């Protein structure tokens, strides 16, 4: 009986200890949207060839992991974790890439957009559109002055959520506020308007783009405008 009682106490201590560990552990910086389902975390990748390309990637993973273990490495290790995630992407290992990006986001989820942007690209690759949209959006919020993050968010929204007009308009307006006279914003809006068959407004956007375009680009814009006029 004493032995049974002792075993019960041990089991209870284990359960309590596990609960305490879980309750004290920091939550993940990014959680998948409940509307998304990932069928597989693995995908075909350019460097998973069982040969020289894969060896180079695994060697680089070893090098980065060694730097993380190096006591002399100055914090933060944000870039190292992002780098590791990139290497795992080359191997088609989405789960490992996700894990490393989470580590980067635990270091900085508010002021740096790189891990968020890469998380968005990963979620897009894994067929998780709502999660991807959220990650791309967080990249913009972290560093709104980087036009590439706006472009990634808007392009993805145009591709996956083109029917959500409020979402697209909000994304474009946010970019236009940040980059008042930037050609890339005009072009994205022009593409959006074309998709909505709002051709006159699209033409106006292309006209704005043409004003600052070099002659060789202007010719292509003129052809595009002519195509749109034919649809009026």
Asked whether residue 78 is assigned to any structural domain, the reply reads no
Q: What is the extent of the structural domain holding 207? A: 181-232
Asked whether residue 8 is assigned to any structural domain, the reply reads no
Residue-by-residue DSSP string for the chain = -HHHHHHHHHHHHHHHHHHHHHHHSPPPS----TT---S-SB---TT-SSSHHHHHHHHHHHHHHHHHH-TTPPSP-HHHHHHHHHHHHHTTBHHHHHHHHHHHHHH-SSS--HHHHHHHHHHHHTT-HHHHHHHHHHHHHH-TT-HHHHHHHHHHHHHH-TT-HHHHHHHHHHHHHHSTT-HHHHHHHHHHHHHTT-HHHHHHHHHHHHHT--HHHHHHHHHHHHHHHTT-
Asked whether residue 195 is assigned to any structural domain, the reply reads yes
Count of the separate structural domains present in the chain:
1
Asked whether residue 156 is assigned to any structural domain, the reply reads no
pTM for the complete prediction?
Answer: 0.81
Asked whether residue 119 is assigned to any structural domain, the reply reads no
pLDDT digits (tens, 9 = 90+) for 135-191: 999 999 999 999 999 999 999 999 999 899 999 999 999 999 998 877 888 889 999
pLDDT of residue 65 exceeding 50, the answer is: yes
């Amino acid at each position: 009986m004493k032995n049974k009682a002792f075993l019960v106490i041990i089991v209870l201590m284990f359960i309590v200890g596990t609960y305490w560990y879980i309750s004290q552990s920091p939550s993940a910086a990014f959680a998948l949207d409940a509307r998304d389902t990932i069928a597989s975390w693995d995908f075909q990748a350019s460097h998973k060839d069982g040969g020289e390309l894969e060896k180079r990637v695994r060697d680089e993973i070893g090098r980065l992991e060694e730097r993380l273990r190096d006591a002399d490495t100055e914090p933060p290790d944000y870039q190292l974790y992002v780098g590791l995630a990139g290497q795992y992407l080359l191997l088609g290992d989405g789960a490992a890439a996700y894990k490393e990006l989470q580590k980067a986001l635990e270091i900085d989820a508010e002021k740096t957009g790189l891990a968020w942007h890469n998380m968005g690209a990963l979620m897009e690759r894994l067929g998780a559109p709502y999660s991807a949209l959220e990650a791309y959006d967080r990249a913009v919020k972290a560093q709104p002055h980087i036009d590439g993050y706006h472009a990634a968010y808007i392009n993805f929204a145009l591709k996956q959520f083109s029917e959500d007009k409020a979402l697209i308009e909000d994304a474009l307006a946010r970019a236009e506020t940040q980059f008042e006279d930037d050609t890339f914003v005009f072009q994205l809006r022009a593409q959006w308007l074309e998709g909505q068959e709002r051709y006159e407004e699209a033409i106006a956007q292309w006209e704005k783009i043409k004003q600052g375009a070099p002659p060789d680009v202007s010719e292509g814009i003129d052809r595009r405008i002519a195509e749109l006029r034919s649809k009026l």
